[in-house]
Amino acid sequence: MPLKPRSLHLTAEHVSRIPVIEDPGQPVYPDTRPALDADYDAEVKRLIDTGPDGDFWIFAYGSLIWNPATEFDQQRIAIAGGWHRSFCLFDARYRGNPKQPGLMLCLDRGGSCRGVAYRIPSENIKANLDKLIRREMSMVPSAFPGRWIKVMTEQGPLTALTFTINRRNARYVGGLTLAERADRLAQPHGWKGSMAEYVLSTVAMLEELGIHDRNLWNIQKLVAERIEHHWPART
């Protein structure tokens, strides 16, 4: 039975206090380059060729939960064993900038993660996968390549596509405390918006789905406190 949503400490009003930063431009990450059409085509082919026969599922754990970016005809709450949701991906453009880089969510090894499995309609798999890969893979090699993992749902096990961090990539940021992660999430802003907005949207949707992630819940509270410290509300 889904758990009742709780009232978040972090709010849209908090997010509105963060100064807007215009597009800082494409950052240069070590040993990477912008992805080309040929890269996207090759990745789509790789994932289709290595995927399971039958239904095509995607396991969402972060922004894909509240902004799927693909068509889907079914969704299920799913658990990915051996992986946990973590702010561990260095970002200096999308929701961060070179002066104030932030952290995006990825799946990192260890623990377990409750998320959402989406089924892509069988007649539109290639087109939807191309759209998804173009959203998730802006640089090559990717810091969080797509891979097939086993997930469990109430209806039974599934093999689903998801995106996991490559710990050997220069953009991987591990070993931070929750407080240190909150420090990197409270202020950054990039061309797609702020890190705080990303945190708010993710935690709010998880709560709506009855998914209580303890670490993210504590982080959103810490982010709200830091925003209140840096930009006190006007009285």
CATH code, domain with 157: 3.10.490.10
Helix (H/G/I), strand (E/B), else coil: 225 = helix
Q: Is residue 2 part of a domain?
A: no
| ∠ Cα 139 111 66 (to 5°) | 55
Q: Above 80 in pLDDT, residue 66? A: yes
Cα 210 from Cα 201, distance rounded (Å): 14
Pairing state between β 139-140 and 33-34 = antiparallel
Distance of alpha carbon 197 from alpha carbon 186, whole angstroms: 9
Range of the domain at 18: 12-230
| pLDDT (average), residues 72-90 | 97
In a domain, 6, yes or no: no
Q: Is 136 a catalytic residue?
A: yes
Is 1 inside any structural domain?
A: no
- pLDDT exceeds cutoff 60 at 112: yes
pLDDT, the chain, mean: 94
With cut-offs at 50, 70 and 90, classify the pLDDT of residue 3: low
Does pTM surpass 0.75? yes
In a domain, 5, yes or no: no
Q: How far is Cα 82 from Cα 91, in angstroms, rounded to an integer?
A: 25
Q: Catalytic pick from 43, 71, 136, 154?
A: 136
Residue 101 near residue 92, CB atoms below 8 Å:
yes
Number of domains in the chain: 1
Strands 74-91 and 139-140: unpaired
